[in-house]
Structure 1
Amino acid sequence: GRRISPDGLFAGSEEGFDTMRYSKPEVERIAHVAFKAAQGRGKHLTSVDKANVLETSQLWRDTMNRVAKEYPDVTLEHMYVDNAAMQLVRAPKKLDVLVTGNLFGDILSDEAAMLTGSIGMLASAALNEKKQGLFEPSHGSAPDIAGQNIANPLAQILSAAMMLRYSLDMPEAADKIENAVKRVLAKGYRTGDIWSEGCKKVTCSEMGDAVVAALQ
């Protein structure tokens, strides 16, 4: 919100303020989703917070530790958000599943997207506790390039793979789609956002057709 500061060094000046609030049931819900996701991958979960500064993060960390006892097969690691931002650049392969709040997640997800070379490569899913969700590229729509057949379709295609894996319990089908994308990229096909010298520049539809052809 905004108000005129009633006291302090800047009394009488306009100030803005926000309140971050998390309840234990809210954190428990996302914790279970994260632990289950980790069980289906490398069984390693990194919880990102700022527990050395924020009371909400201290609640977050305490709750994660409690829920972790229900998932003894998953290794839980805690990491401060500033360190997590650095580790995503320094050693991204040491991280697998990350769980964090909305603010930190909004920032870290875009940083992680660029590890793939383009935000057009990053699939996303917004899931509830019943594994129902919305699956879409993390970048949303791109009205500035609509109708030009130049968008990168891989994030949308990989979002469909996430739907198969996390909502429909069809991991084999998800693997087929993800492997098809890998094969197409290995052949050097690139849309404009990820193109570089020596690669074959293709349109959105050509990339989609190539992925379909690579499905096995």
Structure 2
Amino acid sequence: TSVDKANVLETFQFWKDVVTEVHAQYPDIELDHMYVDNAAMQLVKAPKKFDVLFTGNMFGDILSDAAAMLTGSIGMLPSASLNAKGQGLYEPSHGSAPDIAGKGVANPLATILSAAMMLRFSLNQEEAASRIERAVQSVLEQGLRTPDIYSEGTKKVGTTEMGEAVVAALRAQ
């Protein structure tokens, strides 16, 4: 789904035209267009409707923050910006969060999962990526939670403890 605001901003008509033109080279991929306000609503209403959302940085930043709440927290979302050669910039989708820096409450899982994406998409290390993802899943199944995803019945841990638990789960595999 290509997301734009062509009904209000002329520059997005250019976006839409280019996306449509490039899409013609990939007829096996389904393409639809959606205005960003509707995309935000649909993302909350029916997130499984989407496979890939394709948009510019500004709308992508807004939509990824909204989508984060589908996982429980922005601290759970890895991300990648890839070029045609598979080279990329891998980072959690959240920002630096200077307000919680040094407090031991940040969720390291998005960073860890971003490393798994790097292994998979840029370094062709599928098994290593899968091991990391299984370790994260194992830690979550154990009930460990940083404050952003904590709920009653789970164990609240800090940044370091969560990271160490993932390392221990990796070693246990």
Q: By the TM > 0.5 criterion, same fold?
A: yes
Deviation at 1:70, TM superposition (A): 2.0
- Letter of the 1:163 counterpart: M
Show the counterpart of 2:147: 192
| 1:174-196 CA-partner distances (Å, limit 9, x unpaired) | 22222221222122110111101
Q: What is the TM-score normalised by the length of structure 2?
A: 0.88
CA distance in 1, matches of 2:35, 2:98: 36
- Specify the structure having the higher radius of gyration (Cα): 1
Matched, 1:125 2:80: yes
Structure 1 residues 128-137 or 82-91, which shifts more?
Answer: 128-137
Pairing partner for 2:131 from 156, 170, 176: 176
| 1:37-83 CA-partner distances (Å, limit 9, x unpaired) | xxxxxxxxx11112233222222222222222222322112111111
Matched, 1:93 2:84: no
More strand by share: 1
Relative distance call for 1:82 and 1:146 in structure 2 (3 A) is closer
Query: Within 5 A, what are the aligned runs for 1:16-35?
Result: none
Q: What is the TM-score normalised by the length of structure 1?
A: 0.72
Matched, 1:144 2:106: no
Gapped regions of structure 1 (runs ≥ 5): 1-45
Query: Within 5 A, what are the aligned runs for 1:148-159?
Result: 148-159=103-114
Percent pairwise identity: 73
RCO greater where, 1 or 2, for CA within 8 Å and sep 6 or more?
2
Deviation at 1:91, TM superposition (A): 0.9
- Letter of the 2:111 counterpart: Q
Deviation at 1:210, TM superposition (A): 1.8
- Letter of the 1:72 counterpart: P
Show the counterpart of 2:89: 134
Deviation at 1:153, TM superposition (A): 0.6
CA distance in 1, matches of 2:127, 2:28: 23
- Letter of the 2:67 counterpart: A
CA distance in 1, matches of 2:83, 2:39: 25
CA distance in 1, matches of 2:49, 2:154: 29
Deviation at 1:214, TM superposition (A): 2.4
Structure 1 residues 76-85 or 179-188, which shifts more?
Answer: 179-188
Structure 1 residues 117-126 or 139-148, which shifts more?
Answer: 139-148
| 1:90-145 CA-partner distances (Å, limit 9, x unpaired) | 01111121110122112111111122111111212233333322212222223333
